[in-house]
Structure 1
Amino acid sequence: MIIQSLALKNFRQYRNTTIEFKEGLIGIIGKNGSGKSTIFNAIVCALYGVLPTSREYIRSTFAEDNATVAIELVFEIDNNRYHVVREYRGKSLQAHASLYKNNSAIATSATDVTKSLEDIIGMPQDAFMHSVFAAQGELRQISDTRGADRRELIRKIMGFSMLDDILQMIRDDRNDKRRFIEGQQVMLLSEEDIKVKESELEKHYQELSHKEKTVDEFQKNHELLSQKFLKAQKKFEEQQEIYKKHNDLIKKKTEIQAHLDNCTHNIAEAKERLKQLENAKVEHEKLYSQEQKYNVCKKQKEQLEHARMMNMKKQELQKQYDELIHELYEKEQSIEAEKEELKKLDNLETMIKQYENRKNEIEKTVQSLQGKLYEIREDLGGIEKSVKDRKKHIEQIKKLGKEAECPVCLRPLHEAYDATIARLTAEIEGYEKKEKAQLKSDAEKTELMMKNTENELKEIDTQRNALQQQKAQLLEKKKNVEKALGEIRKKKENLNAINLQLQELGNIAFDEHEYDRVVEEYTNLEAIHTRFIGLDVLIREIPVVQQKIKQLEKQKDELTSEIKKNSESITNVAFSETLYSEIKIEYESILQEKEKITKKLNEEKLLYNDIKNAINKIVSELEKDKHNRQRIEATKHEFELLQRLEKVMDGFRESVLQMAKPVIANYASSLFNQLTQGRYQEIKMDDNFNFLIMDDGKWYPLSRFSGGEIDCANLCLRIAISNAIRDFSGSGAVGFMAFDEIFGSQDNERRNAIINALYSLQEQYRQIFIISHIDDVKELFPSILHVQTSAAGSKAVWM
C-alpha cells in the first residue's frame, strides 16, 4: 500500500490543501500545533472513518457553520489505484463516503466503504493502529497493556480473532444440537403410550372389518332400488312430456282468443274514429273563406312591424349620435389641461440623473473606507492573538519552572527561562502601547468618516426618491392622456359609423294608428286560423284510419282460423289427468325410498371413514415417534463430533498464537540489536506475553530500562508485529509505516541508529513517515515535508 495524495478541505487546521506524497524515508517537520499529526489523523479517518476528536470539533474554525468537511485519499495496492472520499455535511456533519477502484465506484456508503477498505488493506483498524501506525503518545500502548488484555490485544492485532469467531460458531452449533435433542426427547411417546396406541389400533381394525360388511349390504339394496327408480322415472318423464304439450296448447289457445277479442275491440274503435274525422272535414270546408282573410291580414301586419322596427332603430341611432358629440367636446378640453403639466417631465429626469451620479461617488467612498477599516481590524486581531499567545507561553513556562524539561524535546528550560520571559513581556508591551493604540485611533477616525458619508448618502436617497415619485406620477398621467386620445379616436370612428347608418335609413313612413287597427284584426282571426289548422291535420288522418280498419278485419279472420286448428291439436294429444296422477304418485314414492336408503348408506360410509382416519392417525403418530427417535440418535452423534471439534479448535487457536511469539520476537530482537548497536541481544515474550530484554545474558522486564530504551523497544515491537502480520497473511498490502514523535526520549546517537534501521526497512516499506518538531533531525531525512501555519490555514510544502 503506497499513499499517493491527501486532500483536506475545512478539516481542523487545513482550509483547502492537497499533499502529493513521495516514496522513501520522509520527515514531517513543523512547530507544535501546526497540523503535522492532523495529516496522520486524516489518513486514519479516510481509511476507517474514525474521527480524531468529537465530531463538532473537526470543522475548521475559519469555515462557515454549514461548510462541508472533506477528506480525499488516493493510494495504490497491487497496481490498482484506490480513491477514498469522506465528507461530513451540514451543521450536524452527516457522514457520507465513496470508494473508487481505477475510477469505478465500488462502495457508496460510509459503512460499506470502511468494510471494503478493511478487506483491501488486509487488517482492521486495531491492527493498523498497533503495528505500522503510531499516533503521538501511543508508542508504548502495547507494552503498557497488562496481563490477559495484552494477550487479547496481540491476538486481535494479528487477525487471529477470526479463530475466536470460528470457535464460537462451533459452540453455537453444538448448543443448537443439544437444545434440539432435549426438545425432541420431551415430545417422544412413552412405552406405555405406545402400548395403548397399539391396542387402540387393533380395536379399530376389528370395527373397520364389521363396518365394511354393513356398507356392502346397504350398497346392494341401494343398487336394486336404483334400477326400480329408473323405470318409474322413465314412465313419469313420458307423462310429463304429454302433460307439457297439452298445457302449451291450452296456453296458446288462451293467448289467440285474447288477441281475437282485442282485434274486435280495435275494429269498433277505428270505425268510431272514422265517423269523427268525416264530421271534421265538413267543418273545415265552412272555415276556408276566413282562413284566406287571415293570410292577407298577417302579411299586412308583418310589413307594418318591419317599418315600425326601422323607425325605432333610427331614433336610437340619432340619440347615440347626439351623446357622442357632447362626450367628445368634454374629453378634448380635459386632455389640453393635462398636456401642459406633462412638460415638467424632462426637467425631473435631468435632476434624478444628477443625484444618481452623486450617489455612485459616495458609495465608492464608503467601500474604500470599509476596506480600510477591515484591514485595521484584521491587524488588531493579529496583534491580540500575538499578545494572547505570548501570555500563554509565559504562563506555561512559569508553571513548568526553571528546572523542568521541555514537554516535547525534553531539554532543560533553565538556560533560557528568564530571557524568554523578559523577551515575551517586552513584546507584549510593544504591541499594547504602540501598535495597538495607533490602530485603534485609525479605526475611530475611519468609523467617523464612514458615519458622515453614510448620512450624506441617506439624504441623497431621500431627495432622489421624492423626485422618482413625482416622475412616476407624471408618467402615469402621460399614460392616461395617451389612453384618452385612443378613446377619442374610437368615439369619432363610432360617430362616423352611426352617421353612415342614419343616411342609409333615410326617411321612414310609419302610421301608428294603421298598425294598431291591423294588429286588432289579426288577433280576432288568429283563433279561427288555429281551429282551421287543427281540422286540416284531422282530415289527413282519414285514409290512415280506413287502412287500419281493413288490416284489422283481415287479422280477425286469421285468428279465427288459428283457434279452430288449436282445438283439433288438443284433441289429438289425448292427455289423461287420472293416468298422470297415478304415475306421479308411484314415482315420488320410489324416490322417497331411494333417498332414505342413500342417506343411510352415506352415514355408514362416514362412520367407516372415521374409523379409517383414526387408524391412519395412530399409525402416523407411531411412525413420527419412530422417525424422531432416529433423528435424536443422529443428532447425538453430531453433538459428540462437535464437542471433539471444539477441543481441537481451542487447542489450534492457542497453538497459532504461540507460533506468532517467536516470529515477533525474532523480528524485534534483530531490529533492537541494530538500534542499540549490539548492547541488547534479544527480546522475547513469556507465556503471558510479557516483554523481556536480554542484558548481559540475563532476561529483564521492560520496566527495568530507561524511557528511551522502552520507546525504542516498543518501536521494534510494532515493526515486528507488522512483519509478522505480513508473514502470516501472505500479503504485502501495507507498504508504509507512520510514527508520530518517536525521537523525544532519544539522544543523538540513538536517533541516528533509529534512522539507519528505518533506512534498512525501505525494501519492505516503500514509504516511512516520521513526525517530529525537533529541528536537529532535519538533516537525517532525505525528504522533508514542512508543515507551517498561515492566516489561510496550515499548509505542507516539500523542502
Structure 2
Amino acid sequence: MIIDRLIMKNFKRFRQQEIRFRDGITGILGNNGTGKSSIVEAIFFALYGVQATGILSEYIVSSFAGPKEKCEVRLDFRVGGDEYTVLRTFRKGKAVLHDATFYRAGKLRATGVSQVETEVRRTLGMGPVDFRNTVYAAQKDLLTLLEHTPGKRKEWFLRALGIDYLKNESDRLLKERIDAKEQELRLREGELKGLIDRHDPQAGQLLAGSADECRSTLSQLAQVVDGHTAQRQALVRQMQDFSKKKTEHTRLVERHRSLLAEVSGLRNQKDRVTAQVAAIAGQEREYRQLEHDLAGFETKVKQLSELREQRVEFDRLLSDYRVAEQECRDIEARIERERGRRAALDRDAERLAHLERGVREHLGIRDDVCGHSLEEEVASREARIIHAIGNISARLEHLVNERRTIVSDWNMIESAGPDGICPLCRQKLGTHFTKIEDEFSSRLLQVEEDALRACGEEERLNREKELIIRQRPALQEIREITERLKGRDSIDAELRELSSRLQVKKASIATLRDRMQKMGFDEARHILAEKEVAELERLHRRFVEIGRVIAHADALKGQGIDLDLRIGQKQEELAAVKDQIDQSGFNPDDGILLEEAISAVDSAIRASEAEMARTRERLRYLLEMLERHRNEEDAIANLKRQTSALGEETVLLRLTRTMIGEYVLYLMQVVRSRIEAEVSVVLGEITGGRYEQVLLDEDFNLLVRDIDNDYPIERFSGGEQDDIAVALRIALSRYLASLHQVHESTLLIFDEIFGSQDEERRNNLLSALRTQESRFPQIILISHIPDIQGEFSNTLMVEMGSDLSSRVQEVT
C-alpha cells in the first residue's frame, strides 16, 4: 500500500489541510501538541473509522467547527498499481452521523460504514489491529524491544502477533463452556435422582384399573338419569294442560271484576249529570245581568289599544335617549384615557433619548449608529468579545498542558542526572545534560510569557464584557420604550375618531328630547284605562262561561238517557261471565300436586348428576395421575440421555482446551523461527553483512551472532542496539504482511523513535532505515527534533497558528 494524498477538514486541530506524500523517507516535524500524530490518526480513521484511531469520538470533530459542520477525511492510495480513494465523514451531536464511500479507479465501489470497511479489509488483506501493527511503530515499541526485564519482550510480541488474544480468549471461552456444561450436568443428575426416588413403577397398573371402575359407574348412573328424565317429561306435559285451564279461569275472573267496575262507574257518572242539570237553572239570571254590564266593552278596549301604542313609542324613545347619554359618557372617558396614554408616551420619548445617550457614553459607540441599530451593535460587540475570550481560554489551557509536559519531562531528566540514563530514549545523558537543561528552561520561559500575555488580554476583554453586562437593564428599557412608541400614531387617530363620534351622539340626544316633548304621553290616564279594561275582561270571561253551560243543558239530558241503556247492557254481560266461571270446573290444588311431583323428580336427577360429576372428577384425576406417571418415565429416559451427552461434551471441551494450549506452544515455535529468519535478513541488510544471524529463545530474548559466538543485545553499543531494534520491528512488519498474503511493497511509520538520542545515533538510525527503502518505498518518521530536518527526502513541518489550528507546510 502506497499513500498519495490525505485531505482533512475539521479533523481534530486541522481546519482544512491537504498533504501529498512521496516515495522515500518523509519526516513529519513539529513541537509537541501541534498535531503530528493526528496525521497518522487521520489515515487510520479514513480506512477503518473511529475505533481504529484509538481516541474518543468526542474529540474527532475539530473544536473550531460549527454545530452543524462535520469532520471529513479523504485518503488516496495505491495497491498493486490500482488507485483507490476512501472518503469518510463524521459528526456527533444529538445523534451520531457517520458515513463513508469507497472508490477504485474513480468508480464507486461501496457506500456506508459497514460496506466500506468490508472493501478496505478485502483490498488491504487485514483488519485495523493487524494493519496498525504492520505499518505503525511507536516509540515505546522500540524501547520494549530493547527492554531487559524478563518477559516484557515476549508479552509485546504475543500481543502484536495476536497470539495472547488467541490463547487467553480461547482459554476463557472454553473454561466458561466447561463450567456451564458441568453445572448443567450436575443439575440434570440432581433432577434424574429426584425423579427416580419419587417414581413408583407399579402405580401405572393401579391407576388404569381405578379408571376402568369409574367408567363403569358413569354408565350405570347415565341409565338412572335417563329414566328420571322421561318421568319428568310426562309430568311437564300434565303441568302444561293445567296451566292452560288456569289461564282461562283467571281471564274470566278478571273480566267479571272489570264489568263490576264499569257498572259502578256508569252509575256515578249518571248521578253527576243529574246534579249538573239541576244547577243550570240558577245561572240563567246571572247571565242576563252580565249582558247588561258589558254594553260599552268594545269602546273601552279600543281606547286602551291606542294608549298602549303611544306608550310603546314613548318607551322606545326614552330608551334610545338613555343609551345615547351613556354612550356619550363612555366616549368622553375613552378620550381622557387616550390623552393620558399620549402624555405617557411623550415622557417615554424623553426617557429614551436619555438612555441612548448614557449607553453611547459608557460603551463609546459612535453617534452615526442610529437608535434602532444600537442594541444590535452592542450584541455584536459582546459576541466578538465572548469569541475572543473562548480562544484565549483554549490557548491558556494548551499552554498549561504544554508547561506541565515540559516540567514532567525535565523532572525525569533532572532526577536521572548527567550520569544517568535518559528515561525517554534509554541512553546515557553525559555532556548533553547542560544543553538539554538550557533547552527546557528556554521552552518553559517562552510558555510562561505567552501565558502572561494571554491572561492580560483576557482581563481586558472581561472588563469590556462587564461594561456591556451593566448596560443590559438600560438596553432592555430602551427596547420596551421603543416598542411602546410604535403605538403613538394609532392613539392620535383614535382621539380624532372619538371626538367625531361624541359630536354625533350629542346631536342625536337633542333630537330624541324634542320628539318626547311633542308626544304628550299621560301615564295616569294609561294606568286607569288598564284597570277598567281588566275588570271588563273578567266579566266577559264569566259571561262566556255561563253561556256555554246553558247551551250544554240539552246535551246533558240526552247523556243521562244513554247512561241508563249502557248500565243495563253491562249487567246482562256480567251475568253471562258468572255462569262461565261456575261451569269451568278449575281446581287450584291440582297444580300444587304436579309441582311437588316435578320437584321430587328434579331432586333425584340432581343427585344422580352430582354423583356422575364426582365420578368424572375422580376419573379425570386418575387420568392426570396416569399421564404424569408416563411423563415421569419419559423424563427419566430423556435425562439419562442428556447426562450421558453432557458428560461426553465436557470431556471433548477439556480435550479441546488442552489441544489449543499445545497448539499455541507450537505456533510460538513456528513464529519464532519465521521472525528469526526475517530479522537475520533485515539486520544483515542494515549492518552491511556484519551481523547476519539472530536467535530468539522461548522468552523472545535476542542473541546476535558476532564472529563465532552468540551474544545478548546488552553486549552491543547503543547504535548497534538501535539497529537490532529497528531490524526486529521491521521483521515483524514483514512477517505480519506475509501472514495476510500481502506481498507488495507498503509504507512504514515510526513515531518519535529518536527520543533524546545524540546526533550520531540518529544518523545511524536513518542509515539503517535507508537500507529498507527497496522493501518499504514510503517510510514516515514523526519527530519533535528540528535538527534532523535536512536528513529526509521529504519534510513536512506541522505548526500551530495564532487561532490554535494546526497547519502543514512542505519544506523543500
TM-score for the superposition, normalised by structure 1 = 0.69
Backbone CA RMSD of aligned residues: 6.7
Q: CA deviation at 1:203?
A: 5.0
Q: Is the 8 A contact 1:27 1:772 kept in 2?
A: no
Letter in 2 for 1:7: M
Q: Is the 8 A contact 2:751 2:783 kept in 1?
A: yes
Q: CA deviation at 1:721?
A: 2.3
Counterparts of 2:601 and 2:260, CA distance in 1 = 47
1:37 — aligned with what?
37
Query: Structure 2 residue aligned with 1:157, among 149, 160, 170?
Result: 160
Counterparts of 2:742 and 2:133, CA distance in 1 = 18
Give runs of aligned pairs for residues 179-190 of structure 1, distance below 5 A.
179-189=183-193
Counterparts of 2:698 and 2:324, CA distance in 1 = 126
What do the CA deviations read for 1:417-466 (whole angstroms, capped 9, x no partner)?
799979x99xx99x99xxx99xx9xxxxx99xx99xx9xxx9xx99xx99
Q: Cα gap change, 1:26/1:559 in structure 2, threshold over 3 Å: closer, same or farther?
A: farther
Letter in 1 for 2:8: A
What do the CA deviations read for 1:523-569 (whole angstroms, capped 9, x no partner)?
43343345457778989999999999989998996998699579759
Letter in 1 for 2:19: E
2:237 — aligned with what?
238
What do the CA deviations read for 1:647-685 (whole angstroms, capped 9, x no partner)?
333323333333222333333222221111111103332
2:373 — aligned with what?
none
Q: CA deviation at 1:490?
A: 1.6
Letter in 2 for 1:298: V
Q: Give the secondary-structure state (helix, strand or coil) at the position aligned to 2:688.
A: coil
2:681 is the alignment partner of 1:666? no
Q: Give the secondary-structure state (helix, strand or coil) at the position aligned to 1:761.
A: coil
Q: CA deviation at 1:489?
A: 1.9
Q: CA deviation at 1:492?
A: 2.4
Q: CA deviation at 1:740?
A: 1.7
Q: Give the secondary-structure state (helix, strand or coil) at the position aligned to 1:792.
A: coil
1:253 — aligned with what?
252
Counterparts of 1:420 and 1:590, CA distance in 2 = 122
Q: Cα gap change, 1:623/1:145 in structure 2, threshold over 3 Å: closer, same or farther?
A: farther
1:5 — aligned with what?
6
Q: Give the secondary-structure state (helix, strand or coil) at the position aligned to 1:232.
A: helix
1:796 — aligned with what?
808
1:643 — aligned with what?
654
Q: Which range moves more in the overlay, 551-560 or 164-173?
A: 551-560
Q: Is the 8 A contact 1:682 1:694 kept in 2?
A: yes
2:653 is the alignment partner of 1:634? no
Q: CA deviation at 1:245?
A: 0.3
Letter in 2 for 1:297: K
Q: Is the 8 A contact 1:134 1:739 kept in 2?
A: yes
Letter in 1 for 2:303: Q
Q: Give the secondary-structure state (helix, strand or coil) at the position aligned to 1:758.
A: coil
Q: CA deviation at 1:796?
A: 0.4
Letter in 2 for 1:101: T
Give runs of aligned pairs for residues 427-438 of structure 1, distance below 5 A.
none
Q: Is the 8 A contact 2:419 2:430 kept in 1?
A: yes
Structure 1: gaps spanning 5 or more residues: 441-445
Letter in 1 for 2:809: V
Q: CA deviation at 1:244?
A: 1.0
Q: Cα gap change, 1:413/1:53 in structure 2, threshold over 3 Å: closer, same or farther?
A: farther
What do the CA deviations read for 1:610-652 (whole angstroms, capped 9, x no partner)?
5554444434333422332233223333333333333333323
Q: Is the 8 A contact 1:788 1:795 kept in 2?
A: yes
Counterparts of 1:612 and 1:99, CA distance in 2 = 65
2:216 — aligned with what?
216
Counterparts of 2:790 and 2:768, CA distance in 1 = 14
2:714 — aligned with what?
703
Q: CA deviation at 1:738?
A: 1.6
Q: Is the 8 A contact 1:673 1:679 kept in 2?
A: yes
Counterparts of 1:348 and 1:198, CA distance in 2 = 108
2:776 — aligned with what?
761
Q: Which range moves more in the overlay, 402-411 or 608-617?
A: 402-411
Q: CA deviation at 1:791?
A: 1.7
Q: Is the 8 A contact 2:221 2:612 kept in 1?
A: no
Query: Structure 2 residue aligned with 1:783, among 776, 787, 794?
Result: 794
Q: Is the 8 A contact 2:703 2:711 kept in 1?
A: yes
2:142 is the alignment partner of 1:139? yes
Letter in 2 for 1:787: V
2:374 — aligned with what?
none
Q: CA deviation at 1:513?
A: 5.4
Q: Which range moves more in the overlay, 689-698 or 535-544?
A: 535-544
Q: Give the secondary-structure state (helix, strand or coil) at the position aligned to 2:772.
A: helix
2:768 is the alignment partner of 1:725? no
Q: Cα gap change, 1:637/1:697 in structure 2, threshold over 3 Å: closer, same or farther?
A: same
Counterparts of 1:347 and 1:540, CA distance in 2 = 96
2:18 — aligned with what?
19
What do the CA deviations read for 1:9-54 (whole angstroms, capped 9, x no partner)?
484xx36242334353452343433442343356567745488899
Q: Cα gap change, 1:636/1:597 in structure 2, threshold over 3 Å: closer, same or farther?
A: same
Counterparts of 2:204 and 2:594, CA distance in 1 = 52
Counterparts of 1:734 and 1:564, CA distance in 2 = 133
Counterparts of 2:745 and 2:265, CA distance in 1 = 116
Query: Structure 2 residue aligned with 1:715, among 719, 723, 726?
Result: 726
Q: CA deviation at 1:757?
A: 0.9
Q: Is the 8 A contact 1:2 1:75 kept in 2?
A: no
Counterparts of 1:549 and 1:700, CA distance in 2 = 158
Q: CA deviation at 1:176?
A: 3.1
Q: Cα gap change, 1:623/1:346 in structure 2, threshold over 3 Å: closer, same or farther?
A: closer
Letter in 2 for 1:528: L
Q: Give the secondary-structure state (helix, strand or coil) at the position aligned to 2:142.
A: coil
2:748 is the alignment partner of 1:737? yes
2:529 is the alignment partner of 1:525? no
Q: CA deviation at 1:198?
A: 3.0
1:443 — aligned with what?
none
| Identical-pair percentage | 16
Counterparts of 1:173 and 1:271, CA distance in 2 = 112
TM-score for the superposition, normalised by structure 2 = 0.69
Q: Cα gap change, 1:698/1:184 in structure 2, threshold over 3 Å: closer, same or farther?
A: same
2:372 — aligned with what?
none
What do the CA deviations read for 1:288-342 (whole angstroms, capped 9, x no partner)?
565674443233123123334545666788899999999999999xx99xx9xx9
Q: Is the 8 A contact 1:28 1:36 kept in 2?
A: no
Q: Cα gap change, 1:217/1:530 in structure 2, threshold over 3 Å: closer, same or farther?
A: same
Q: Give the secondary-structure state (helix, strand or coil) at the position aligned to 2:201.
A: helix
Counterparts of 1:188 and 1:324, CA distance in 2 = 103
Letter in 1 for 2:771: N
Q: CA deviation at 1:758?
A: 3.1
The alignment covers a number of residue pairs equal to: 745
1:304 — aligned with what?
307
